[in-house]
Amino acid sequence: MFKLYKLMANKFKCLSFLTISLTLLQVVSFLVLPILLGQLTRLIGENAYLIQNNLSTNRPITIEILRINFLCQSHQSALMHLGGYFALFLIIGTISAMCASLLASYVSQAGSKQIRSCLWKHLGELSQKDIEAFSNAKILTRFTIDISRIQTGLMSFLRMLIIGPFNLVLGLVFALLTNLQLSMIFLVVIPLLTLTMVISGVIWNPIQKKEQEMYDKINIESRENILGAKVIKSYNMEQIQWNKFQNVNKNWGTITSKSWIIFTITFNFIEIISNIAIAFIVFFVGKQTSKENIADFSKSIGNGVTFMNYVMTVTFGVVASSFTTFNIFKANVSSKRIFEIMNKKPDIAKIKSDKLIVNGEIEFSHVSFKYYESAKSNVLEDISFTLKPGKVLGIIGPTGSGKSTIAKLLNLDFKTQDGLVTIDGHNIQEIDTDSLRKNISHVYQNPCLLSGTIKSNLLLAKPNATDEEIELAAKNGCAFEYINKFKEKFEHVVEQKGANLSGGQKQRLSIVQGLIKRPKILILDDSTSALDARTEAMVRNNIKEEFKYEKISLVIIAQKISAIIDADEILVLNQGKIIDRGNHEELISRDGLYKEIAYSQLGGNNE
């Protein structure tokens, strides 16, 4: 929790201090009220007795507050003074409570917002490998439930952590000063309350941990069912998935029920203890006052009223301190989960450097790579090639041969373990990150479109792109024709992940995103797989024609021969190794995997 507190801006730290100060003022103001109420009760009783017996109320009277005596000229004067002070402290306490609550709410909300922003920013700095160490559902849980619990914990820290202990300690002190004999009851009440809260905490804390784990499982199950809805329906698995979800949901319900049962039992037991204590006070005061004169009787009744208020105050202090500890414990667990991500150092740090991409010449020199250190074999083995600006490199091979891994290394999603990847002669790991991101467009097979409009998605690649640039890129990506068929054209609404677009439409939009940047290096990672042969050929020709003077380095990764047939050089990969290379004519002229793929896809027409 304190680590998260350090993340907050100094403004919020100052407001936190002000909140704590106002809360202390509230506690002290409200603790004075029982004393004044007790004295008012005493004076009202005495005043009523004097009037009933036709006795004068204009005689001097001594008021005792915390064993300090104050002399007033008459009962009426004493009532007015006590009433005025009661109203004053009530107003001060109420105003300070309201201000402290508003400030605590603002600080906790603003603080949680800042923590969420820090988490979001840090996630943006992590590499793909770093992010894959956490599941999507767990990351979402940290953004929602965990940060919500941290917000509650901050509120508890700023308010209840002050109110609880101070009510307990000062309430006990004021009670001792009010009546030493009656204060002996706290020797029983406080240990009983403390024992109740400790036992409750010991049982409750493991349940809270389990409850947070169950939240993760519910998120995972929900996400899988939502994302896999088509597969679930196509294989008639609705009942199986329903049973799985119900099992997780039932477990969560059981855990939550246990938590509330413990809470209810604890609260009721505390209420029983405090009511027994009050009953004892009433009995004790009643027994003492039966033999006293009216002055002592009224004083005893007043002290009894004061003392009962302090019993409730001390009880509240114990309960508030305990439940605040629980809330802070929950927030602490959540903060640890947040710091699991925040403490994750980026595998690939952002680099500020004078090494920039100017031409886009690519070279892989004896590159070997595996995703996990524990893996027995490499995904790529001794990969070497050079791609000059203005040239096209095609990469083909069976599924799992390492084609997309080359693209990920070129995009610096991962670091190489052996060998060197350079662009314009610079080690890719030393190139300025902004220059790298600006000059490389990686178009994936499965486009990731965000909810918004077609235009808003295209502007992600280049926020300052003009309408002319957008239209040109759309024409080159063969998307302009179908976009124009929409009534809203470029303002057509795109649902999350492009759910309202076909596979080919999404791929073409993704290609347009890559083109609109006008990069030095363009990677088409099987990004025309959903296009028909005619549209695929048009996209290739448009790119070749559009960039013929700018000489970009074009990398085409494909399963289809037709996508790379015009490439200046083609790499044939199998099991992470380059088993053949050359242009289409060279590769088709000799026996090998490429020729087999070509004949299976093109038949006799392999020209």
Task: Choose between 50 and 452: higher pLDDT.
Answer: 452
CATH homologous superfamily for the domain 362-602: P-loop containing nucleotide triphosphate hydrolases (3.40.50.300)
The residues, any chain, with a CB within 8 Å of residue 445's CB and separated by 6 or more, are 404, 507, 525, 526, 527, 529
Sign of CA dihedral 115, 121, 125, 130: positive
Task: State how far the Cα of 362 lies from the Cα of 428, in Å rounded to an integer.
Answer: 10
Whether residue 393 is predicted with pLDDT greater than 90 in this model: the reply is yes
Amino acid at site 577? K
Specify the pTM: 0.67
Q: Are 519 and 357 in contact (CB under 8 A)?
A: no
Task: State how far the Cα of 149 lies from the Cα of 14, in Å rounded to an integer.
Answer: 22
Whether residue 302 is predicted with pLDDT greater than 70 in this model: the reply is no
Confidence of residue 47 (pLDDT cuts 50, 70, 90): low
Helix (H) or strand (E) holding 426: strand 426-427
Q: Nearest Cα to 154, choosing from 335, 340, 341?
A: 335
Question: What is the phi-psi region of residue 113: left when phi exceeds 0, alpha when psi lies from -120 to 50, beta otherwise?
Answer: alpha
Task: State how far the Cα of 13 lies from the Cα of 114, in Å rounded to an integer.
Answer: 13
Mean pLDDT of 242-254: 84
Amino acid at site 388? K
What's the token pair of residue 28? 């002290």
DSSP H helical ranges for 228-343: 229-234, 238-289, 294-342
How confident is the model at residue 187, as a pLDDT?
86
DSSP H helical ranges for 126-160: 128-132, 136-141, 147-155
Most confident of 132-146, 219-233, 362-376: 362-376
Whether residue 131 is predicted with pLDDT greater than 80 in this model: the reply is no
Right CATH number for 2-342 from 1.10.10.10, 3.40.50.2300, 3.30.43.10, 1.20.1560.10? 1.20.1560.10
Whether residue 59 is predicted with pLDDT greater than 80 in this model: the reply is no
Confidence of residue 606 (pLDDT cuts 50, 70, 90): low
DSSP percent split of the chain into helix, strand, coil, nearest 5: 65, 10, 25
How confident is the model at residue 523, as a pLDDT?
92
Confidence of residue 200 (pLDDT cuts 50, 70, 90): confident
Largest CA distance in the chain: 129
Name which of 228-232, 412-416, 472-476 the model is least confident about. Answer: 228-232
Q: Nearest Cα to 178, choosing from 284, 303, 11?
A: 303
Name which of 193-197, 229-233, 365-369, 442-446 the model is least confident about. Answer: 229-233
Cα separation values, 519 from 94, 358, 547, 550, Å? 63, 10, 10, 9
Q: Nearest Cα to 300, choosing from 284, 313, 311, 314?
A: 284
Domain ranges of the chain: 2-342, 362-602
For the residues of 344-377, what is the DSSP string, one character each? ---SS-----S---SS--EEEEEEEE-SSTT-SS
Q: Are 133 and 344 in contact (CB under 8 A)?
A: yes
Q: Nearest Cα to 217, choosing from 264, 185, 182, 250?
A: 250
Separation of CA 141 from chain center? 6
Confidence of residue 46 (pLDDT cuts 50, 70, 90): low
Confidence of residue 51 (pLDDT cuts 50, 70, 90): low
Separation of CA 603 from chain center? 54
